[in-house]
Amino acid sequence: MRLHLSPEDQAFRQEMRTFFTTQVPQSIRDRVAARRELSKDQMIESQRVLNAAGLAVPHWPVEWGGRGWTPLQRHIWHEEMMAACVPPPLAFNATMIGPVIAAFGNQAQKERFLPPTANMDIWWCQGFSEPDAGSDLASLRTTAVRDGDTWVVNGQKTWTTLGQYADWIFCLARTDPTAEKRQRGISLLLFPMDSPGVTLRPIELIDGGHEVNEVFFEDVVVPAENLVGEENRGWDYAKFLLGNERVGVAPVAMIKRLLASAKEHAREVTVDGVPLAQDPLMAARIAELENELVALELTALRVVANSADGKPHPASSVLKLRGSELQQAATELIVDIAGPLSVASFAEDGSDVPDWARVATPSYLNYRKVSIYGGSNEVQRTIIAGSILGL
Protein backbone atom coordinates (compact mmCIF):
# COMPACT_ATOMS: atom_id res chain seq x y z
CA MET A 1 0.00 0.00 0.00
CA ARG A 2 1.54 3.27 -1.09
CA LEU A 3 -0.03 6.63 -1.88
CA HIS A 4 2.63 8.30 -3.96
CA LEU A 5 3.25 7.86 -7.64
CA SER A 6 6.70 6.41 -8.30
CA PRO A 7 9.32 8.93 -9.48
CA GLU A 8 9.03 7.39 -12.97
CA ASP A 9 5.26 7.83 -13.03
CA GLN A 10 5.55 11.37 -11.67
CA ALA A 11 8.00 12.21 -14.45
CA PHE A 12 5.66 10.57 -16.95
CA ARG A 13 2.77 12.66 -15.66
CA GLN A 14 4.80 15.83 -16.01
CA GLU A 15 5.83 14.88 -19.54
CA MET A 16 2.20 14.34 -20.52
CA ARG A 17 1.07 17.55 -18.83
CA THR A 18 3.72 19.57 -20.60
CA PHE A 19 2.89 18.09 -23.99
CA PHE A 20 -0.85 18.49 -23.75
CA THR A 21 -0.69 22.05 -22.46
CA THR A 22 1.89 23.27 -24.95
CA GLN A 23 1.59 21.26 -28.19
CA VAL A 24 -2.15 21.07 -28.85
CA PRO A 25 -3.53 24.30 -30.37
CA GLN A 26 -4.96 26.63 -27.72
CA SER A 27 -7.99 27.39 -29.89
CA ILE A 28 -8.99 23.72 -29.76
CA ARG A 29 -8.46 23.47 -26.01
CA ASP A 30 -10.43 26.67 -25.42
CA ARG A 31 -13.32 25.25 -27.40
CA VAL A 32 -13.31 22.07 -25.27
CA ALA A 33 -13.07 24.14 -22.07
CA ALA A 34 -16.12 26.11 -23.21
CA ARG A 35 -17.94 22.80 -23.76
CA ARG A 36 -18.60 23.73 -27.35
CA GLU A 37 -18.54 21.28 -30.25
CA LEU A 38 -15.37 20.93 -32.26
CA SER A 39 -15.42 21.09 -36.03
CA LYS A 40 -14.40 18.07 -38.06
CA ASP A 41 -11.13 19.76 -39.00
CA GLN A 42 -10.32 20.57 -35.38
CA MET A 43 -10.83 16.97 -34.32
CA ILE A 44 -8.62 15.72 -37.12
CA GLU A 45 -5.95 18.32 -36.40
CA SER A 46 -5.88 17.50 -32.70
CA GLN A 47 -5.53 13.77 -33.25
CA ARG A 48 -2.77 14.29 -35.80
CA VAL A 49 -0.80 16.36 -33.30
CA LEU A 50 -1.11 13.48 -30.84
CA ASN A 51 -0.30 10.86 -33.44
CA ALA A 52 2.84 12.66 -34.58
CA ALA A 53 4.08 12.46 -30.99
CA GLY A 54 3.05 8.83 -30.56
CA LEU A 55 0.21 9.78 -28.21
CA ALA A 56 -2.88 8.89 -30.25
CA VAL A 57 -2.97 5.09 -29.93
CA PRO A 58 -0.60 4.14 -27.07
CA HIS A 59 -2.66 1.06 -26.20
CA TRP A 60 -2.31 -0.51 -29.67
CA PRO A 61 0.31 -3.19 -30.35
CA VAL A 62 3.75 -1.60 -30.42
CA GLU A 63 4.35 -2.42 -34.10
CA TRP A 64 1.27 -0.37 -35.04
CA GLY A 65 2.06 2.67 -32.90
CA GLY A 66 1.46 1.39 -29.37
CA ARG A 67 3.77 2.34 -26.54
CA GLY A 68 3.76 -0.68 -24.26
CA TRP A 69 2.71 1.46 -21.32
CA THR A 70 1.47 0.13 -18.00
CA PRO A 71 -2.26 0.51 -17.29
CA LEU A 72 -1.37 3.25 -14.80
CA GLN A 73 0.57 5.17 -17.45
CA ARG A 74 -2.37 4.90 -19.82
CA HIS A 75 -4.62 6.18 -17.05
CA ILE A 76 -2.29 9.13 -16.45
CA TRP A 77 -2.14 9.84 -20.20
CA HIS A 78 -5.92 9.90 -20.41
CA GLU A 79 -6.42 11.99 -17.28
CA GLU A 80 -3.82 14.58 -18.23
CA MET A 81 -5.29 14.83 -21.72
CA MET A 82 -8.72 15.60 -20.32
CA ALA A 83 -7.39 17.90 -17.62
CA ALA A 84 -5.71 19.94 -20.38
CA CYS A 85 -8.96 20.09 -22.39
CA VAL A 86 -7.39 18.09 -25.22
CA PRO A 87 -10.04 16.13 -27.11
CA PRO A 88 -9.28 12.42 -26.77
CA PRO A 89 -8.57 10.47 -29.97
CA LEU A 90 -11.77 9.55 -31.80
CA ALA A 91 -13.10 6.48 -29.95
CA PHE A 92 -14.35 4.80 -33.14
CA ASN A 93 -10.81 4.81 -34.50
CA ALA A 94 -8.59 4.55 -31.46
CA THR A 95 -10.45 2.32 -29.03
CA MET A 96 -12.93 0.47 -31.24
CA ILE A 97 -12.03 -0.63 -34.77
CA GLY A 98 -8.27 -0.07 -34.50
CA PRO A 99 -7.70 -2.63 -31.74
CA VAL A 100 -10.10 -5.07 -33.45
CA ILE A 101 -8.22 -4.92 -36.76
CA ALA A 102 -4.92 -5.20 -34.88
CA ALA A 103 -6.15 -8.29 -33.04
CA PHE A 104 -8.28 -10.07 -35.65
CA GLY A 105 -7.55 -8.50 -39.05
CA ASN A 106 -5.24 -10.09 -41.63
CA GLN A 107 -1.85 -8.57 -42.46
CA ALA A 108 -3.19 -6.79 -45.55
CA GLN A 109 -6.01 -5.19 -43.53
CA LYS A 110 -3.60 -4.10 -40.81
CA GLU A 111 -1.28 -2.47 -43.32
CA ARG A 112 -4.12 -0.88 -45.22
CA PHE A 113 -6.16 0.43 -42.29
CA LEU A 114 -4.15 0.87 -39.11
CA PRO A 115 -1.81 3.77 -40.02
CA PRO A 116 -4.59 5.91 -41.53
CA THR A 117 -6.90 4.98 -38.63
CA ALA A 118 -4.36 6.25 -36.08
CA ASN A 119 -3.79 9.42 -38.09
CA MET A 120 -7.46 10.15 -38.86
CA ASP A 121 -6.86 9.82 -42.59
CA ILE A 122 -9.86 7.57 -42.24
CA TRP A 123 -12.71 8.72 -40.00
CA TRP A 124 -14.65 5.67 -38.84
CA CYS A 125 -18.20 5.40 -37.63
CA GLN A 126 -19.89 2.55 -35.81
CA GLY A 127 -22.62 0.45 -37.44
CA PHE A 128 -23.91 -1.52 -34.47
CA SER A 129 -27.26 -0.31 -33.07
CA GLU A 130 -30.46 -0.73 -35.03
CA PRO A 131 -34.01 0.44 -34.41
CA ASP A 132 -34.86 -2.96 -32.89
CA ALA A 133 -31.40 -3.79 -31.54
CA GLY A 134 -30.26 -1.49 -28.74
CA SER A 135 -29.07 -3.09 -25.52
CA ASP A 136 -30.10 -6.38 -27.14
CA LEU A 137 -27.56 -5.96 -29.91
CA ALA A 138 -27.63 -9.63 -30.97
CA SER A 139 -31.13 -9.14 -32.36
CA LEU A 140 -29.76 -7.01 -35.22
CA ARG A 141 -31.40 -7.56 -38.61
CA THR A 142 -29.09 -5.91 -41.17
CA THR A 143 -28.04 -8.68 -43.56
CA ALA A 144 -25.01 -9.38 -45.71
CA VAL A 145 -25.47 -11.99 -48.43
CA ARG A 146 -22.49 -13.51 -50.23
CA ASP A 147 -22.43 -12.93 -53.98
CA GLY A 148 -19.23 -14.20 -55.58
CA ASP A 149 -16.35 -12.08 -54.30
CA THR A 150 -18.63 -9.59 -52.59
CA TRP A 151 -21.13 -9.19 -49.80
CA VAL A 152 -24.39 -7.39 -50.46
CA VAL A 153 -25.60 -5.45 -47.43
CA ASN A 154 -29.21 -4.43 -46.73
CA GLY A 155 -30.74 -2.95 -43.62
CA GLN A 156 -30.57 0.01 -41.27
CA LYS A 157 -28.33 1.28 -38.48
CA THR A 158 -29.07 4.06 -36.02
CA TRP A 159 -27.42 6.27 -33.39
CA THR A 160 -24.45 6.46 -35.75
CA THR A 161 -22.39 9.11 -33.99
CA LEU A 162 -20.69 11.69 -36.27
CA GLY A 163 -21.57 9.54 -39.24
CA GLN A 164 -21.84 12.76 -41.22
CA TYR A 165 -18.05 13.14 -40.97
CA ALA A 166 -17.20 9.47 -41.49
CA ASP A 167 -15.23 8.05 -44.40
CA TRP A 168 -15.79 4.40 -43.46
CA ILE A 169 -18.16 2.35 -41.32
CA PHE A 170 -17.50 -0.83 -39.35
CA CYS A 171 -20.74 -2.67 -39.53
CA LEU A 172 -22.24 -5.75 -37.89
CA ALA A 173 -24.44 -7.70 -40.28
CA ARG A 174 -26.17 -11.07 -40.13
CA THR A 175 -24.41 -13.46 -42.49
CA ASP A 176 -26.01 -16.72 -41.30
CA PRO A 177 -29.70 -16.33 -40.55
CA THR A 178 -29.92 -20.07 -39.87
CA ALA A 179 -27.40 -20.12 -37.01
CA GLU A 180 -28.80 -21.85 -33.93
CA LYS A 181 -27.60 -19.11 -31.61
CA ARG A 182 -28.33 -15.70 -33.07
CA GLN A 183 -24.94 -14.42 -31.83
CA ARG A 184 -23.20 -16.97 -34.04
CA GLY A 185 -24.44 -15.72 -37.40
CA ILE A 186 -23.03 -12.19 -37.33
CA SER A 187 -19.99 -10.83 -39.22
CA LEU A 188 -18.02 -7.59 -39.11
CA LEU A 189 -17.69 -5.73 -42.42
CA LEU A 190 -15.80 -2.56 -43.37
CA PHE A 191 -16.92 -0.28 -46.19
CA PRO A 192 -16.78 3.34 -47.34
CA MET A 193 -19.68 5.60 -46.41
CA ASP A 194 -19.82 6.83 -50.00
CA SER A 195 -20.49 3.32 -51.33
CA PRO A 196 -23.52 3.26 -53.63
CA GLY A 197 -26.65 2.39 -51.63
CA VAL A 198 -25.56 4.07 -48.35
CA THR A 199 -27.87 6.85 -47.21
CA LEU A 200 -27.38 8.95 -44.10
CA ARG A 201 -30.17 10.84 -42.37
CA PRO A 202 -29.47 13.16 -39.43
CA ILE A 203 -31.30 12.80 -36.12
CA GLU A 204 -31.81 16.02 -34.20
CA LEU A 205 -31.35 15.50 -30.46
CA ILE A 206 -32.98 17.21 -27.48
CA ASP A 207 -30.05 19.61 -27.15
CA GLY A 208 -30.71 20.92 -30.66
CA GLY A 209 -27.51 19.37 -31.97
CA HIS A 210 -26.77 16.90 -34.72
CA GLU A 211 -24.31 14.26 -33.60
CA VAL A 212 -26.11 11.03 -34.44
CA ASN A 213 -27.65 9.66 -37.61
CA GLU A 214 -29.66 6.90 -39.15
CA VAL A 215 -27.81 5.00 -41.88
CA PHE A 216 -29.67 2.99 -44.53
CA PHE A 217 -28.13 0.25 -46.70
CA GLU A 218 -29.72 -0.74 -49.99
CA ASP A 219 -27.81 -3.43 -51.92
CA VAL A 220 -24.46 -2.04 -50.78
CA VAL A 221 -21.70 -4.08 -52.42
CA VAL A 222 -18.74 -4.80 -50.14
CA PRO A 223 -15.63 -6.65 -51.39
CA ALA A 224 -15.18 -9.99 -49.57
CA GLU A 225 -11.70 -8.92 -48.49
CA ASN A 226 -13.32 -6.28 -46.22
CA LEU A 227 -14.65 -8.87 -43.79
CA VAL A 228 -12.69 -8.75 -40.53
CA GLY A 229 -11.50 -12.03 -39.06
CA GLU A 230 -13.72 -15.04 -39.63
CA GLU A 231 -17.21 -15.14 -41.08
CA ASN A 232 -19.93 -15.43 -38.40
CA ARG A 233 -17.53 -14.53 -35.59
CA GLY A 234 -18.43 -10.83 -35.56
CA TRP A 235 -20.15 -11.07 -32.18
CA ASP A 236 -16.85 -12.06 -30.55
CA TYR A 237 -15.14 -9.06 -32.12
CA ALA A 238 -17.93 -6.74 -31.00
CA LYS A 239 -17.61 -8.00 -27.43
CA PHE A 240 -13.85 -7.53 -27.61
CA LEU A 241 -14.36 -4.02 -28.93
CA LEU A 242 -16.84 -3.01 -26.24
CA GLY A 243 -14.90 -4.61 -23.39
CA ASN A 244 -11.50 -3.63 -24.69
CA GLU A 245 -10.96 -0.34 -22.98
CA ARG A 246 -10.81 -0.14 -19.20
CA VAL A 247 -8.86 3.10 -19.09
CA GLY A 248 -10.93 6.24 -19.40
CA VAL A 249 -14.22 4.46 -18.68
CA ALA A 250 -14.81 7.01 -15.95
CA PRO A 251 -13.73 10.43 -17.24
CA VAL A 252 -12.61 11.68 -13.83
CA ALA A 253 -10.53 14.63 -15.00
CA MET A 254 -13.37 15.84 -17.20
CA ILE A 255 -15.82 15.77 -14.27
CA LYS A 256 -13.19 17.55 -12.18
CA ARG A 257 -13.09 20.33 -14.74
CA LEU A 258 -16.89 20.59 -14.63
CA LEU A 259 -16.84 20.90 -10.83
CA ALA A 260 -14.04 23.46 -10.91
CA SER A 261 -16.01 25.55 -13.40
CA ALA A 262 -19.16 25.09 -11.30
CA LYS A 263 -17.33 26.60 -8.33
CA GLU A 264 -16.16 29.48 -10.47
CA HIS A 265 -19.68 30.18 -11.73
CA ALA A 266 -21.12 29.87 -8.22
CA ARG A 267 -18.79 32.66 -7.14
CA GLU A 268 -19.93 34.85 -10.08
CA VAL A 269 -23.66 34.35 -9.59
CA THR A 270 -25.04 36.32 -6.65
CA VAL A 271 -28.21 35.96 -4.62
CA ASP A 272 -29.23 39.29 -3.10
CA GLY A 273 -25.66 40.41 -3.44
CA VAL A 274 -24.12 37.31 -1.84
CA PRO A 275 -22.18 34.85 -3.99
CA LEU A 276 -24.13 31.64 -4.53
CA ALA A 277 -20.97 29.75 -3.51
CA GLN A 278 -21.54 30.99 0.05
CA ASP A 279 -24.98 29.39 0.24
CA PRO A 280 -24.47 26.42 2.61
CA LEU A 281 -26.78 24.19 0.60
CA MET A 282 -24.89 24.91 -2.62
CA ALA A 283 -21.52 24.43 -0.91
CA ALA A 284 -22.70 21.10 0.52
CA ARG A 285 -23.96 19.94 -2.86
CA ILE A 286 -20.64 20.73 -4.51
CA ALA A 287 -18.66 19.17 -1.65
CA GLU A 288 -20.67 15.96 -1.75
CA LEU A 289 -20.29 15.62 -5.50
CA GLU A 290 -16.60 16.32 -5.20
CA ASN A 291 -16.22 13.64 -2.53
CA GLU A 292 -18.03 11.12 -4.68
CA LEU A 293 -15.63 12.01 -7.46
CA VAL A 294 -12.64 11.40 -5.15
CA ALA A 295 -14.08 7.94 -4.41
CA LEU A 296 -14.54 7.30 -8.14
CA GLU A 297 -11.01 8.48 -8.98
CA LEU A 298 -9.53 6.24 -6.31
CA THR A 299 -11.60 3.33 -7.58
CA ALA A 300 -10.32 3.98 -11.11
CA LEU A 301 -6.77 3.95 -9.74
CA ARG A 302 -7.45 0.69 -7.92
CA VAL A 303 -8.71 -0.82 -11.15
CA VAL A 304 -5.76 0.26 -13.29
CA ALA A 305 -3.25 -0.69 -10.60
CA ASN A 306 -4.72 -4.16 -10.44
CA SER A 307 -5.28 -4.89 -14.13
CA ALA A 308 -1.63 -5.44 -14.98
CA ASP A 309 -2.27 -9.12 -15.75
CA GLY A 310 -4.71 -8.11 -18.47
CA LYS A 311 -7.82 -9.20 -16.61
CA PRO A 312 -10.11 -6.38 -15.56
CA HIS A 313 -10.57 -5.81 -11.85
CA PRO A 314 -14.05 -6.74 -10.62
CA ALA A 315 -14.66 -3.17 -9.52
CA SER A 316 -14.18 -1.91 -13.10
CA SER A 317 -17.90 -2.36 -13.73
CA VAL A 318 -18.48 0.31 -11.11
CA LEU A 319 -16.64 2.87 -13.22
CA LYS A 320 -19.02 3.11 -16.16
CA LEU A 321 -22.06 3.16 -13.89
CA ARG A 322 -20.82 5.76 -11.43
CA GLY A 323 -18.80 7.71 -13.98
CA SER A 324 -21.89 8.36 -16.07
CA GLU A 325 -23.96 9.28 -13.02
CA LEU A 326 -21.39 11.81 -11.82
CA GLN A 327 -21.00 13.37 -15.29
CA GLN A 328 -24.75 13.84 -15.32
CA ALA A 329 -24.82 15.21 -11.78
CA ALA A 330 -22.10 17.74 -12.61
CA THR A 331 -23.85 19.00 -15.74
CA GLU A 332 -27.09 19.24 -13.77
CA LEU A 333 -25.31 21.24 -11.06
CA ILE A 334 -24.16 23.82 -13.62
CA VAL A 335 -27.70 24.23 -14.97
CA ASP A 336 -28.90 24.88 -11.44
CA ILE A 337 -26.14 27.44 -10.84
CA ALA A 338 -27.12 29.20 -14.06
CA GLY A 339 -30.67 29.26 -12.69
CA PRO A 340 -32.89 31.62 -14.71
CA LEU A 341 -30.08 32.18 -17.24
CA SER A 342 -30.15 28.48 -18.11
CA VAL A 343 -33.08 28.88 -20.48
CA ALA A 344 -31.19 31.25 -22.81
CA SER A 345 -29.49 28.40 -24.64
CA PHE A 346 -29.46 29.90 -28.10
CA ALA A 347 -28.93 33.56 -27.20
CA GLU A 348 -26.80 35.29 -29.78
CA ASP A 349 -24.69 38.45 -30.03
CA GLY A 350 -26.13 41.21 -27.90
CA SER A 351 -27.15 38.87 -25.09
CA ASP A 352 -25.72 39.45 -21.62
CA VAL A 353 -26.03 35.76 -20.72
CA PRO A 354 -22.50 34.33 -20.34
CA ASP A 355 -21.54 31.54 -22.68
CA TRP A 356 -21.23 28.94 -19.90
CA ALA A 357 -24.87 29.54 -18.96
CA ARG A 358 -26.00 29.30 -22.60
CA VAL A 359 -24.30 25.95 -23.06
CA ALA A 360 -25.33 24.59 -19.64
CA THR A 361 -28.75 23.13 -20.44
CA PRO A 362 -28.02 21.70 -23.91
CA SER A 363 -24.98 20.04 -22.37
CA TYR A 364 -27.02 18.67 -19.48
CA LEU A 365 -29.62 17.32 -21.90
CA ASN A 366 -26.90 15.91 -24.16
CA TYR A 367 -25.29 14.10 -21.22
CA ARG A 368 -28.38 12.02 -20.61
CA LYS A 369 -26.76 9.83 -23.28
CA VAL A 370 -23.82 8.72 -21.15
CA SER A 371 -25.86 6.36 -19.00
CA ILE A 372 -27.37 4.86 -22.17
CA TYR A 373 -24.51 4.32 -24.62
CA GLY A 374 -21.69 1.80 -24.38
CA GLY A 375 -23.82 -0.58 -22.29
CA SER A 376 -26.57 1.22 -20.42
CA ASN A 377 -26.39 1.53 -16.65
CA GLU A 378 -29.02 -1.18 -16.45
CA VAL A 379 -26.73 -3.45 -18.46
CA GLN A 380 -23.93 -2.58 -16.01
CA ARG A 381 -26.14 -3.51 -13.06
CA THR A 382 -26.96 -6.78 -14.76
CA ILE A 383 -23.22 -7.46 -15.15
CA ILE A 384 -22.49 -6.62 -11.50
CA ALA A 385 -25.39 -8.72 -10.22
CA GLY A 386 -24.50 -11.64 -12.48
CA SER A 387 -20.72 -11.75 -12.77
CA ILE A 388 -19.74 -10.35 -9.39
CA LEU A 389 -22.55 -11.20 -6.99
CA GLY A 390 -23.52 -14.43 -8.74
CA LEU A 391 -27.20 -13.51 -8.85
Partner 1 sequence: MDFNYDSEQNDLREAVRGLLARAYPDSEQRRAVVAAEPGFDEKTWSRLAEMGLTGLPFDEADGGMGAGPVEVAIVAEEIGRVLAPEPFIEAVVLAGGLVASVGTEAQRGDVLGALAEGGLVPAFAHAEPKARWSASASGVTAVRVGDSWTLSGVKEPVPNGARADLLVVSAAIDGGTGLFLVRADAEGLTRTGYRNHDGTRSAHVRLENTPAEPLGGGGDQTPAIERALAEARIAYAHEALGAMDTALRITAEYLKTRKQFGVTLNKFQALTFRAADMYVSLELARSIALWASMVQEAGGDVVQAADRARLQVSRAGRHIGKEAIQLHGGIGMTAEYSVGQDTSRLTAIDHLLGDGDWALGRLAASVTSYETVDPLGAPYA
Residues that bind partner 1 (CB under 8 A): 1-6, 9, 72, 256-257, 259-260, 263, 266-267, 277-278, 280, 283-284, 286-288, 290-299, 301-302, 305-306, 315, 318, 321-322, 378, 380-382, 384-386, 388-391
Q: Which C-beta is closer to partner 1: that of 125 or that of 304?
A: 304
Shortest reach from residue 312's CB to partner 1, in Å: 13
CB of 332 to partner 1, least distance (A): 17
CB of 385 to partner 1, least distance (A): 4
Q: Which of 63, 144, 53, 48 is nearest to 103 (CA)?
A: 63
Instruction: Judge whether 230 counts as a catalytic residue.
Output: no
In this complex, which beta carbon is closest to partner 1, that of residue 313 or of residue 358?
A: 313
DSSP states along 231-281: TTBHHHHHHHHHHS--TTSS-HHHHHHHHHHHHHHHHHSEETTEEGGG-HH
Taking CB atoms within 8 Å and a gap of at least 24, the contacts of 273-278 are 276/337
State the minimum distance, in angstroms, from the CB of residue 294 to partner 1. Answer: 5
The residue among 166 and 293 lying less far from partner 1, judged by its C-beta, is 293
Looking at residue 216, the DSSP 8-state letter turns out to be E
Residue 350 CA to residue 342 CA, distance in Å, equals 17
Using an 8 Å Cβ cutoff, are 55 and 85 in contact?
A: no
Compute the least distance from the CB of residue 302 to partner 1, in Å: 5
d(C-alpha 44, C-alpha 57), whole Å: 14
* CA–CA separation, 108 and 103 (whole Å): 13
- CB 206 to partner 1: min, Å: 26
Q: Please identify, using beta-carbon distances, which residue of 72 and 96 lies nearer to partner 1.
A: 72
CA angle 300, 305, 310 (to 5 degrees): 105
Distance CA 86, CA 50 (A): 10
* CA dist., res. 28 & res. 293, Å (int): 26
Element (H, E) at 200: strand 198-203
Beta bridge partners of 227: 189
State how far the Cα of 93 lies from the Cα of 90, in Å rounded to an integer.
6
Shorter beta-carbon distance to partner 1: residue 52 or 294:
294
Q: 114 near 98, Cβ under 8 Å?
A: yes
Q: Is 62 within 8 Å of 55 (Cβ atoms)?
A: no
**Alpha-carbon span 81 to 11, nearest angstrom:** 15
- What's the closest the beta carbon of residue 18 comes to partner 1, in angstroms? 17
Among 37, 214, 245, 290, the active-site one is 245
The DSSP bridge pattern shows strands 186-192 and 198-203 to be unpaired
Residues recognised as catalytic? 245
